[in-house]
Amino acid sequence: MNQRAVAVEQLMANLGYTFKDRALLERALTHSSVAEGHNTKISDNERLEFLGDRVLGLLVADYLVREFPEADEGRLSARLHSLVDKSACARVGEALGIGPALRLSAGETKTGGRRKAGVIADAVEAVLAAVYRDGGLDAARAVFDRAWAHEISSPPQPAIVNPKSALQEWAQGLGHPLPTYTIVERTGSDHAPTFTVEVVVQGYEPVRATGRSRQEAEKAAAVALMKREGVI
- Catalytic residue numbers read 53, 125
Cβ-based neighbour number of residue 182 at 10 Å? 13
Question: Using an 8 Å Cβ cutoff, are 55 and 128 in contact?
Answer: yes
Cβ atoms of residues 130 and 47 within 8 Å: no
Q: Which amino acid is at 45?
A: N
Q: Each residue of 109-131: b (16+ CB within 10 Å) or e?
A: eeeebbebbbbbbbbbbbbbbbb
Please tell me the distance from the alpha carbon of residue 73 to that of residue 23, in angstroms, as a whole number: 39
Contact call for residues 218 and 200 (beta carbons, < 8 A): no
